[in-house]
Amino acid sequence: MWPGPDALRPGDDAIYEVVTVAGGSQRFLGVQRRLSPVRLIAAKARTSRESFNLGLPRASGLPWSSGNACNFAQFETFRGRLSDVYTIFLGRDTRAGVLSRLGGAVLTRHIGRPGRVVVSWPMLTKDIAGQYGRCAAGEFDDYVRTAARVMSTRGVTNPLLRVGWEPNGRAFPWSLGTRPAQWPGYNACFQRQAMIFREELPESLIVWDNRRDTIKTITYSPLNFYPGNEYVDIVGLMLYDRWPVHPNQAAWDSSLRLVKLGHLKGLDLWYEFATQVAEKPFALTEWAVSNNSNDPRSFDNPFFITKVFEWFQARQDNLAYESYFNCSGGYLISAPTQNPRSSAEYARLYRPGSPSSSPEQR
């Protein structure tokens, strides 16, 4: 349970943000201190539960659930391990297009395999961009319900659903970066779609995940558009080696507790919100090196691969899953041509027989 304001004493070392949610109610998330350094330590919200177990596959043989997006078979051959999760994308032009892809090969290739499908779900498509109110009013229910029934009919009854992922960006038809005042509508739309998916697919899990770097047009806390514990099973983050890059230990350490516009940005802060405040398991829903992709300072960086792997090892009990974004260009590591040094380091850490990746290493 989240504590109330009277649970804190003056000088308590924590952040809290009072978050206005749909309906005018408020949800207490800790204490916001404007002194430096700003830290998110929600120890008062900690429960007796020391770990989260969602029963996700461990076909990889790793101590946590691990997988990838794109180039699935190639990636498994490259690392010598099966995937526990397969992250898929359905496009976002039209609802008909999304449903058509869901009925095609993008899902077929994973049916009957040991891992679970992670569906990156386009909450809104380009033809209904930003129409959160119509969504919340039920006008798009058939879109969601049909998608759920397509998955169920095809045997995918337990997907992980990244509903309206990356809302703190600006690239998608549901993104708040281009319409920052509409976050209550995003929440209401998310909540309605999550409930439909749960009704149609009772074994599904709902993921709420953001990019690390919130777009600067969103000047308020990204926790404003957390839909609420009753609608979320996993809190996640997308982490790429950019904005900032992580060339050395000092850069990595400083990135973990970054704050932007007074609000959480660093990986550790998001993790602490998930596991200590919301009391949800955490996922790195996408992560990758970013060799000159979107940030000219990024590069083929094996150090980043090492630090993320070590981070997983240290937090594996609270880690729902992690999925490497092995899709194209500066992210690709399953073929050593694009990022040969990062590819070699990932293989060294993940391949069977590596002392660092054996289940005994905790």
| Boundaries of every domain in the chain | 1-43, 56-79+233-362, 90-232
What contacts 330, CB < 8 A, 6 or more positions away? 289, 290, 291, 292, 293, 298, 338, 339
For the domain made up of 90-232, the CATH class stated in words is alpha beta
Reference 120, options 323, 298, 302; nearest CA is 323
Question: Angle, to 10 degrees, between the axis of helix 340-350 and the axis of helix 72-79?
Answer: 70
Give the span between the Cα atoms of 121 and 9, in whole angstroms.
42
* pTM as predicted: 0.87
Which of 27-36, 81-90, 161-170 is predicted least confidently? 27-36
The structure tokens listed for 124 are 């809104």
At 16, the pLDDT band (50, 70, 90 cuts) reads very low
Query: What does each C-alpha distance from 102 to 45, 90, 113, 162 come to in angstroms?
Result: 39, 7, 17, 15
Strand 116-121 versus strand 234-240 pairing type: unpaired
pLDDT band at 10; cut points 50, 70, 90: very low
Q: Does residue 59 carry a pLDDT above 80?
A: yes
CA distance 198 to 194: 6
Tokens of 253: 């350490």
pLDDT at 329: 85
The first and second tokens of residue 140, run together, are 């798009």
Q: Which has more confidence, 51 or 338?
A: 338
Query: Could you give the angle at the alpha carbon of 270 between the alpha carbons of 267 and 272, nearest 5°?
Result: 105
**CA atoms of 183 and 242, how far apart (whole Å):** 26
Q: What is the pLDDT of residues 214-264, one digit of tens each?
A: 999 999 999 999 999 999 999 999 999 999 999 999 999 999 999 998 889
Q: In this structure, are residues 172 and 215 in contact, taking their beta carbons and an 8 Å threshold?
A: no
What is the enclosing helix (H) or strand (E) of 77? helix 72-79
The answer on pLDDT for 26 being more than 80 is no
Q: Which residues pair with 26 in a beta bridge?
A: 20
Q: How many CA atoms lie within 13 A of 133 on its CB side?
A: 2
Q: 148-196 pLDDT, tens per residue?
A: 999 999 999 999 999 999 999 999 999 999 999 999 999 999 999 999 9
Rounded to 5°, angle at Cα 89 from 83 and 94: 165
Q: State how far the Cα of 47 lies from the Cα of 204, in Å rounded to an integer.
A: 25
* Mean pLDDT score, 277-304: 93
| C-alpha to C-alpha distance for 173 and 195, rounded to whole angstroms | 21
Compare 19 and 149 and report the one with higher pLDDT. Answer: 149
Kindly state the average pLDDT of the residues 26-54.
Answer: 40
Measured CA angle at 67 (ends 66, 68), to 5 deg: 145
pLDDT at 22 over 90: no
3-state helix, strand, coil in the chain (%, to 5): 35, 15, 50
Confidence of residue 39 (pLDDT cuts 50, 70, 90): very low
- Evaluate the omega torsion of the peptide bond into residue 37 and state whether it is cis, within 30 degrees of 0: yes
Residues 111, 155: Cα–Cα separation, whole Å: 7
Per-residue pLDDT tens digits for 42-55: 322 333 344 578 88
Q: Look at the alpha carbons of 126, 127, 132, 138 in this order and tell me if their dihedral is positive or negative.
A: negative
Confidence of residue 337 (pLDDT cuts 50, 70, 90): confident
